[in-house]
Amino acid sequence: MNLKELNPKQLLQLQADATNELLMRKIVRTQNNPLGDYTEWLVAKYLKLDLANNSEAGYYAMDANDVKIKIKGRRVTPKNKSTQLSAIRNLNEKDFDTLIAVIYNESFDIIEAVSIPQIVVAEYATYREHVNAHILFIKDPLLSDARMKCTKQILIS
């Protein structure tokens, strides 16, 4: 199939078909955020976590010790190299214990995967009033903080 021969509607239909296939395989849980859903599935699978219900506020999974885990994914491309995660709402509520962030390249290869305690997230994240949430970038000095744990090898094994 040559994607260049498809019109915009056909490209969107192809994307919808791919998302529906991922839904049937139980890799994504919604049709709205395939990268986020895929990241949750990947992290849960390889770290042996139980995914929470989609409606659960504040965290996406729990481990065997009832540690609440928020999971975020970000895909960087040559046109957008930002490692900014999506908005972290209600950070001061402390409704998660650990945040696992996975950064992918354009081809969805993992280039960074880290487990960050909530207290560390709170130190490095910046509150942005216009989105009513905290924003966190996965880059130094956060990546050099000794309290962080790299999870990349576990996820690519």
Asked if 73 and 104 count as a contact pair (C-beta separation under 8 A), the reply is: yes
In the three-class reduction of DSSP (H, G, I as helix; E, B as strand; rest coil), residue 74 is classed as strand
Tell me the per-residue pLDDT of 77-109, one tens digit each, with 9 for 90 and over. 999 999 999 999 999 999 999 999 999 999 999
Burial 43-72 (b: 16+ CB within 10 A, else e): bbeebebebbeeeeeebbbbeeeeebbbbb
Q: Specify the CATH number for the domain of residue 102.
A: 3.40.210
Same domain for 125 and 53?
yes
Q: Is residue 157 over pLDDT 80?
A: no
Residue 57: the pLDDT is 81
Same domain for 7 and 71?
no
Same domain for 91 and 25?
no
CB atoms within 10 A of CB 12: 11
Tell me the per-residue pLDDT of 37-79, one tens digit each, with 9 for 90 and over. 999 999 999 999 999 988 788 899 999 999 999 999 999 999 9
> What gap in Å lies between CA 77 and CA 91, rounded to an integer?
28
Same domain for 12 and 66?
no
Same domain for 8 and 40?
no
Same domain for 27 and 42?
no
Instruction: Count CA atoms closer than 13 A to 101's CA, side-chain side.
Output: 25
Could you tell me the residue range of the domain that residue 3 belongs to? 1-31
Compute the mean pLDDT over every residue in the chain, rounded to the nearest whole number.
Answer: 95
Question: Residue 90 — left, alpha, or beta (φ > 0 → left; ψ -120 to 50 → alpha)?
Answer: left
Same domain for 64 and 49?
yes
Model confidence at 1, pLDDT cuts 50, 70, 90, reads confident
Same domain for 80 and 129?
yes
Same domain for 19 and 46?
no
Mean pLDDT across the stretch 6-32? Answer: 94
Same domain for 43 and 24?
no
This prediction has a pTM of 0.92
> What gap in Å lies between CA 135 and CA 126, rounded to an integer?
5
Question: Could you give the C-alpha distances from 6 to 95, 106, 153, 154, in angstroms and in order?
Answer: 45, 21, 38, 38
